[in-house]
Structures are given as structure tokens and as C-alpha cells.
Amino acid sequence: MVSNIFLLYVVLLLCCYDYLFCSARDTLTHADPVIDEESGTLVSAGEKFELGFFTPTPIGKSNSGGGADSRYVGIWYYKVTPRTVVWVANRDEPLPANSTGVLTIEGGNLLVLDNVTGERYWSTDIGTSSSSNMTVQIMESGNLVLMDYDQMAANILWQSFQNPTDTFIPGMLMDKNLQLTSWRDKDDPRPGNFNFKLDQSKNQYIVMNKSLPYWKSGEPDNRFSPYEVPPKVTGLLSYFSNSSSTDTSRPSINFTIVRPLDYNYARLVIDFTGELQFSTWNENKKEWFPSWSEPKDNCSKFNLCGSFGSCNNNNRPWLCKCLPGFKPRSPDNWNSEDFSGGCDRESSISDNNSTFLSLKMMKVGEAESPFDVGSETECRKECLKNPQCQAYSYAVLAEDRAQRGTNTTTSTSSKCWTWLEDLKNLVEEYDSGHNITVRVASSDIESTVRGCQPCGTTMIPYPLSTGRDCGDPMYFRFICNTLTGQVSFVGLNDTFRVISIEPSMQKFVLKWLPAKKVDECDSRYRAKTLELNASFPFKISSWGCDADLGDYYVVELGWKLPPEPACNTSADCKGWPNSTCKPARDGMKRCLCNKSFQWNVTYFNCTQEGSLHEPSNSPSSSVLGEHSSRKVTFYLIIVAVLISMILLACVISIYIWRRKMTRKQDQISRAQFDSERRVKELIDTSEFNEEDEKGIDVPFFDLQSILEATDNFSDANKLGQGGYGPVYKGKFFGGQEIAVKRLSKVSGQGLQEFRNEVVLIAKLQHRNLVRLRGYCMKGEEKILLYEYMPNKSLDSFIFDHTQNVFLNWEMRFNIILGIARGLLYLHQDSRLRIIHRDLKTSNVLLDEEMNPKISDFGLARIVGGKETEANTNTVVGTYGYMSPEYALDGTFSVKSDVFSFGVVLLEIISGKKNAGFFQSKQTFSLLGYAWELWTGDKVLDLMDKNLEESCNRSEFVRCVNVGLLCVQEDPVDRPTMSNVITLLDSETAIPATPKQPAFFIRRGNSSTASSSTKPETVSEITALEGR
């Protein structure tokens, strides 16, 4: 009996021991800190939240911030997979992967330290204290609290709920002092670009992108920008208080009261993309369920289209357009889809040049305070009185008024709102939108007497017609929805949404949602879907085959230029001066131009014959007299013949001048370099020695010593075959290894190029340029001796599938920087300003430590100290690396080398050659493919597959950006090499947006592509043709 009691005692003692020492704790003290991978974590009492050290990305993968495998202290949901972090302590300064971190109390603060060196990575920074009664506890709410216990109670010194990161959870309170800051990337907890906070002055929530508003919730009392946050989110942010609270720090927003219990496992996150996301945990599916997010689409972003620019998400991909009577403030930015600059008026408004444009279902920025009016006419007059008035809105509102007892009566009042500043944040077809009327210049929207009025934000240019009383009857295929302000096109079988009309191009774009997803490029489908009557004055110009537009399609149509306006009586022609209503050749009565006048299709008017504005392609010949037609044709023929003769004379003169200059240059060249003997004399005589060898230590090697070192140029010592001849490995006295380049007789590298290389490389000294060890010239033999590069050339690694696996991202990035520094030395830092002219991967050698060295200076040219470009009659270089101005015009400059560097950079990071590239059906070169991915926001698809594990993605995107900047068609747009190095080597430098690269030609459906059969090195190019 005693033994059984003793055994039970031992079991109970072990259980208690296990509980005391193995169960999770929720408190940290001076004597018991949290050490990474040693003392575990802190877990809240109800096991809802956990605090500890973590790494955002899996071990071995690169982190876009703080380096690979950086360690952070954070709080996350306990036993929720994948880990969902709600707070991070040391987000500004992560712990290195090879260190051991510790979370401890020291000097009155909670600190994150390196447990070995004591280096500080984060602190609460609340002052100093020597108290030993401080503790840190993680609460069941997820709040981390630093407390100091005295004899009376526990004083809270600091808490994480008042110092959040990117997540808001129940128990926190959003007031004017609190803001959430996004992560920098999905796996990078460092502070990002977006902040979420309460704008208490306007009683609304706002997301900022750095210093610019990115999204606004709207204001509770703003009729035109209503409040867009649902009650469940408002309840969470205000800590479940209602608007009757006397706490003025909280927003006075009415919402449905929601119990805190309804928010179990709920969170609001400001994502690294700027999206505000509210989600709850679904225990059955074990996943987070997103129930609300903003901005929900592009048009939800604040003022996406700028001042007087209207956004319509239903018109994708044409999201933004200027209101009628307005034009883009920056057309270049507008065409590149940067609409933030907004629009300006085409003409100024005045008392005599003002009319109003009616817009339906609009969201718009805040108006002035409303005032009572008797009618809309009175509201309009009030706007016209004020020269600053940009728009007005009129509405009749119902008001409930309490009477004696319990009865109420409903009355109405007429209100007028005006806008005295630029209209901003305009959104069309907004569900809770209102009608507004915008003031515009009459001259900007009344182009012709018969022109139709704008439909909402869409101009209806003549001759297009939305009714029988405007436009040309032949073009009456358009419908204006007066409720939504949207335009539709009526085909034979269906009606299509019009998303864009371009009057200057005589084109408009349609969009429709088919019943089922099919190939819109199938000609059979086209005929069935958009069938046009042969009599219609419209023609399909293109289909949206190349665009990834989701479940809808777009098609572009053009319209034929119109003949004279139709009429019934002469009164109908009053708006068309110098015309008379009479039958035309098509059988209809039209306003035909009077004698000595003809129909001008550009201005839709009758202009005098011989006028400078007379169009050459006018269709009015069908309705004008034969005499007038023959006279115009005769004048056109005379002008065309004269212009042709002048152009022919210019071409002949230029040809004769170029021929003379070429002959003169050839005579000079033959006089200077008539034979190899002459160059040998240049090297041996004082002319070479004094001018070019002065101060240069380049030894002359005799041919016999080279033959012995290379074993008579045996194949066993052959390192490779370059464009100008084979390269051998030679071992000289003392075991010194040297690379020997034996120039081929038919290589195309002549005596001048040989002399160039001897003199130039001898003068250059840089760690990223190959060193010339000597030269030899005897008879027909021309030999150059370089320092030996054991890893051969860069192309042998990049384009060899068995070798490129050895080049991880760090190596490739260092090679790119090395090449850039070598070029910068040539262009700027050396005693001579040198243009290489033949930079390519095969001309970049790698030493034993994989450091790059630029070689092959046979084509290099020296320009003056302040010169940056020159010209040549003979274009030499390598196909795929030459800049367009050099290949086509013979103009070379430092920007030509920049272009070649851009090609090399893109080849290094992609592992693909530019020439003969056929990755995409739409492009024929690596440059075109890179541009296609860049504009399609798929730039990571360019990455060499072997880099997926080691690649730093932010550096990769920066490299692609810099590469595309370097290969722009206009040399002026390309950066200098000093700018290139700054952009590559600095995280703070922001690269510009590149323009379309040179030689980027899309292949149409009917074109065919063939593999390039050109050799890599071309000694002389007389013509280049694009495929």
C-alpha cells in the first residue's frame, strides 16, 4: 500500500515538473529573456498569439530586404498556418542570419540585441530606469505590454497596440496618432511606401503613397464622395464605440453596432501594394477569408486621372479620358498611361464663350457648401456669375419635419452645389453617383452646326450621329444613354459599348462581353460577331488579338470621310456657307458647294478652290463638276512632278559628293598604310616609338619564343576561336602563362586595327580591362599577347547550359558592375576618351576569381578630350550589339557603347542571346522580348531559370530597367556609364521609365520569321534589314 502511494506521488511530481518547465510562458523578465532558438517563444494565456524570432522567407532563398534569412522579432497567430504576422519589432534593422538574437529588458527598455556582440537592433526608447520589477507580457488580444510593478499596481510603460506595423486587430483604436505602414514587399517587413491613417480634419480614412493620397474613404456628409467603409470595418477601427462618444479623437461616423465577439480572428492589413484588406479566419477551411478591400479597382484610387480627367473602369483598357473641351496636360505622360497630371482647358471660358456639359452618375471631389435656389436655371446663373465656377449640381431633396405630437410631414428643398476649383477624383458610372454639370468653352464642343451634343464624357464628332436631328444620317448607328452618359454602337445583330472615339484619327473602339470565351482572332467568329452592312460608312481596322483583356474583347473601327451634308430645303444649308441644297450624284439632296468652292473634308465646309487647306483626298469629286475635278488633278500632278525632280536632284548631288569623299579618303588610307611593310616600318621607326611607345612598357616578343611557348600553335594549346583569329595558351620562361592571339590573314583586322590594339591597351590600366603583355610582328604574322584568363570568355558560361549553373546571381551582378566600371574608365576616367565599338559577351574575359575584363580593342577609337562622338564610312562590329545610329549612319559615340552594354546586361541576366532570339511569337530579339515583359508587368519571366533560387528580385528588376534604358533608340535618352553605375549600385536611386528599345519590331500574323544565318562578327556592314 505504501509503495503504491509513493509511486503515485512520483508520477504527480513528474507531471508538475513537466508543466512548470515545458509549458509555454507568456511573460518575459530581466532574468528570463527570449533567446533565438534557445528559450523558445512567448504564447498568450489562451494560446491565440505567439511572440518570437522568425524569418519571412524559407531558408536558402533570397530576401528582397535585409539580406537572405534575416531574423525579426514579431507576433503572429498561434498555430495558424501559414504563419500570419501581425507585428514586427526590428523591421528597420533585421538581425543577420548568422547571429543569435535576444529579446530582453535592459535599462528600462525592451530591446532586441545580438546576444554575442551586444549590438542593438531595436528599442522601445521610453527613457531609462533601474527598476528590476519590469516585465513584458503578450496578452490574449495580441498586445505586447511592458509593465513596471510597484507596491500598488502595474503601470503600463509601452504597448505594441500603440506602435503597430502593417496590421490592425481587435482591441486597437485608430486615432489621429496611429498609423499602419505597409511592408516593403511580400517577404520584406521593412517599412514600405504606403501608410493608412485617420484624417481627422475631414473625418475620413486615407491611404498615402509616400506623400501623395492613394485612396480615401470619402466623408460621411459628402454627397459626391460618400463614405465607403462598411460598418464592420468602422466598428473594428473605432474599438466598437458609436458616434455618440464624447471622445473627440474618434471619428464621428454612424455605423451599426457590432459586438467584439464577432471579430474573433479578424484583421485589417495595409498590403505592400497599397491595398487595404479586411479578412477573417475560416476555421473549417483553415484559411483567411477576405471580405472587403480598397481600392477595389483602378478607378477607386484617389484622383487617378488627375484634374478634369474622368475614370471609367467599364472602359478598360481606356481607363482615363479628358472631359470634352479639355486636353491632357502632358500628352507624353498620358500616352504612357501616367494620368496624374490631369487635363487643361482647350480654350478659356468667358461670359461669351461658356456652355455646360451634363455628366451622369458621377463621383467627384468635395463641392462648396450648398445653398437654396428656386430652380436649376437659377443654379446655372449663379455659376455663370462667378468666373471661378467650374461646375454645378442641382437636386431637389426631401426633408422630414416634426409636427406637434408624433406626426411628421415631408417637404422638399432645392439645393445648388458649386465647384470653384479644379474637378478631381472624377469617376463615371458610380453606383451612388450624382449628376453634375461642367462649365466648358462653347467653341470646344460645338465643332459644326450639325454636330451632336456630347454624350456624358464622350464627344460625338461630326459626321457621327446619335439622333436624326444631328450628325449625318448615314452615320446614325450610335445611341446615347441619357441615364448613364454612355455611348453604344448598333450593328446588324447586336449592340456594342463604345469605349473611345478619336476624332483626329476617324476611329472609335468597341467592347463587348461574348456569351462564351472564344478565339476573337478567328475570322469566322469575327464575321458572326460584328457583321457590318456593306452600305455602312464604317470599316474594321484592327482586332484586340494581342491584348490580354480577360473576358471581353475590343475592336477598332474607322469611318469614311463624309460627303456634303444632307438637306431637304435651302434652309438646311444655312449652317454651311457657300453651299446650295440640290441633288447629288448619289440621288440624295445635299448642300453642294457653289461655283469656285469645293467640299473640304477636314473642316466640313466649302472652301475656295486652290486654298491651302484643300485636302488632296477629298471625295467631293463625285458631286462636283468634271471641270473642277480635272483642274485640281492637273495642279496636283504638276506639284508632284516638281517635288520628284527636286528630290532626284538632291539624291544625285549627295551621291556624287559621297563618292568624291570616299575616293579622297581611300587615297589618304593607301598613302599611309599601303602595305604591311609600311606598318612594320611604323612600329620599327621612331614615328611609332616616339609618339606611341613613349612611356609605354610593352615588350616585343620574337616569333621563335612564341612558337616554343605554344608548341608551334598546337591544337592542344588552343583556347578558342575569336572573330579575328585563334587564341592559344602559351607557357613562357618561369612558368608564366600568357594568352596568345594570332590574327588571321582573312580576319578583317588590318594593320591599323593591330596598331590600335598595341597602342591603346598599353595606355590603359584598370582592373576590369585585359592587360597587354606584348606583341610580335614578323612577315605576315601579327600576334598579340595578353594576360591569361583561366575561365575564358563570358559567353562560354552564359550561353552554355552546362556552365551557366555555376554563375549565381551575386556573380552575375558583380560581372555587370565590373563591365560597367571598365567602360566608365574608357569613356571618362582614362587619359584618353576611348569608344570600344565592339563590346559583347565574347569580348569579356573572366579571371580565376570570375572578375570581368574587357578585351579586343582592335575596333576602338580615340576621340578628343571633350568630344563624345565621331563618324566613319566603314561600319564594323557585331550583329546584335551595334547601336542603330552606328549601324545605319556610321555615327558612333560613348552612347554606342552604352547600347552594347545594355544588350550584354540583358543577355547575362536572361541567359539568352539577342541575335537569333525566338522566345516569343511577337518578337524577334531579346530586346523586344524584354520590352514585352516589362510593359506587361511580367519582368521576372525574363530571369534565367538557374537564378530562381539565388536571385535578388529587386536588383533583377533594377537591372532590367537599366538595360532597357541603355538600348533606347535615341542616343540622347540613354544614360551615361556613370549614371548606369549609380542606378545599379544604389538602392535609393530611382531609374527613369524606359522608352521602346531600338530594333524592336512586332511581327504581324502574316509575317514569317526565320533563323538568323549571319555570322557573329561582321567586318563591314553596308546595309541592315529588319525582319
Tell me the domain boundaries of the chain: 22-163, 168-296, 447-562, 574-624, 697-788, 791-1027
Confidence of residue 666 (pLDDT cuts 50, 70, 90): low
The overall average pLDDT reported for the chain is 79
pLDDT value of position 76? 96
Q: Any idea which of 50-59, 215-224, 544-553, 917-926 has the lowest mean pLDDT?
A: 544-553
- pLDDT of 385 over the 50 cut: yes
The strand pairing partners of 718, in sequence order, are 728
Domain covering 697-788 assigned CATH 3.30.200.20 in the classification? yes
Q: Which CATH architecture has domain 22-163?
A: Orthogonal Prism (2.90)
Cβ-based neighbours of 457, under 8 Å, separated by 6 or more: 310, 312, 321, 323, 324, 359, 428, 485
pLDDT value of position 833? 80
Confidence of residue 562 (pLDDT cuts 50, 70, 90): confident
- pLDDT of 872 over the 70 cut: no
526-537 pLDDT, tens digit per residue, is 555 566 666 688
Distance CA 846, CA 844 (A): 7
Tell me what the mean pLDDT of segment 251-266 comes to.
Answer: 54
In the numeric block, the cell 453596432 is attached to 257
Tell me what the mean pLDDT of segment 659-673 comes to.
Answer: 57
Cell of 804: 551557366
Which residue type does 118 have? G
Distance CA 53, CA 50 (A): 10
Return the closest-CA partner of residue 207 out of 278, 273, 112.
Answer: 273
Greater confidence, 1010 or 110? 110
Confidence of residue 38 (pLDDT cuts 50, 70, 90): confident
Confidence of residue 1017 (pLDDT cuts 50, 70, 90): very low
pLDDT value of position 917? 62
pLDDT value of position 943? 93
Return the closest-CA partner of residue 881 out of 858, 863, 857, 907.
Answer: 907
694-711 pLDDT, tens digit per residue, is 444 578 888 888 998 888
Three-state DSSP class for residue 690? helix
CA angle 763, 765, 766 (to 5 degrees): 145
Tell me what the mean pLDDT of segment 913-923 comes to.
Answer: 64
pLDDT value of position 622? 34
Cell of 628: 473642277
User: Three-class SS string for 693-714?
Assistant: CCCCCCCECCHHHHHHHCCCCC
2-16 pLDDT, tens digit per residue, is 445 444 444 444 444
The strand pairing partners of 605, in sequence order, are 600
Angle between helices 809-824 and 894-910 (to 10 degrees): 170
Tell me what the mean pLDDT of segment 1006-1019 comes to.
Answer: 33
pLDDT value of position 1024? 34
- pLDDT of 281 over the 80 cut: yes
Burial annotation 636-666 (CB, 10 A radius, 16+ → b, else e)? eeeeeeeeeeeeeeeeeeeeeeeeeeeeeee
Question: Other C-beta atoms within 10 Å of 985: how many?
Answer: 13
Distance CA 236, CA 250 (A): 12
Distance CA 156, CA 147 (A): 5
Beta-strand pair 434-440/478-481? unpaired
Extended strands (E) in 78-170: 85-88, 101-106, 109-114, 120-123, 134-138, 144-149, 154-159, 167-168
Which residue type does 125 have? D
389-441 pLDDT, tens digit per residue, is 999 999 998 875 555 455 556 678 899 999 999 999 999 998 888 999 999 99
Tell me what the mean pLDDT of segment 780-788 comes to.
Answer: 86
Contact between residue 1020 and residue 878 where contact means Cβ atoms under 8 Å apart? no
pLDDT value of position 566? 83
Greater confidence, 961 or 608? 961
- pLDDT of 983 over the 80 cut: yes
pLDDT value of position 868? 53
Cell of 359: 455628366
Tell me what the mean pLDDT of segment 458-484 comes to.
Answer: 88
Greater confidence, 93 or 698? 93
Highest-pLDDT range among 522-536, 560-574, 872-886:
560-574
Question: Before 324, cis peptide (omega within 30)?
Answer: no
Confidence of residue 846 (pLDDT cuts 50, 70, 90): very high
- H helical segments located in 936-1001: 953-966, 977-985
Distance CA 516, CA 781 (A): 73
> Following DSSP, what letter does each residue of 473-526 receive, concatenated?
GGG--EEEETTTTEEEEE-SS-EEEEEEEEGGGTEEEEEE--SS---TT-HHHH
Beta-strand pair 309-311/426-427? parallel
Supply the DSSP symbol for 997: B
Active site residue 838: yes
Question: Before 317, cis peptide (omega within 30)?
Answer: yes
Contact between residue 758 and residue 698 where contact means Cβ atoms under 8 Å apart? yes
Tell me what the mean pLDDT of segment 204-217 comes to.
Answer: 92
Tell me what the mean pLDDT of segment 658-685 comes to.
Answer: 50
Superfamily of domain 791-1027: Transferase(Phosphotransferase) domain 1 (1.10.510.10)
Confidence of residue 103 (pLDDT cuts 50, 70, 90): very high
Confidence of residue 1015 (pLDDT cuts 50, 70, 90): very low
Distance CA 776, CA 569 (A): 97
Tell me what the mean pLDDT of segment 950-974 comes to.
Answer: 93
- 233's enclosing H/E stretch is helix 231-237
Confidence of residue 452 (pLDDT cuts 50, 70, 90): confident
pLDDT value of position 631? 54
Given 175, 692, 838, 944, the catalytic residue = 838
- pLDDT of 980 over the 80 cut: yes
- pLDDT of 686 over the 70 cut: no
Highest-pLDDT range among 85-94, 122-131, 891-900:
85-94
314-370 pLDDT, tens digit per residue, is 888 888 999 999 999 999 898 888 998 999 999 888 878 889 999 999 999 888 889
Contact between residue 362 and residue 299 where contact means Cβ atoms under 8 Å apart? no
Percent of the chain at pLDDT above 70? 77
Tell me what the mean pLDDT of segment 812-829 comes to.
Answer: 93
Confidence of residue 873 (pLDDT cuts 50, 70, 90): low
Burial annotation 513-526 (CB, 10 A radius, 16+ → b, else e)? eeeeeeebeeeeeb
Q: Any idea which of 276-285, 361-370, 561-570, 665-674 has the lowest mean pLDDT?
A: 665-674
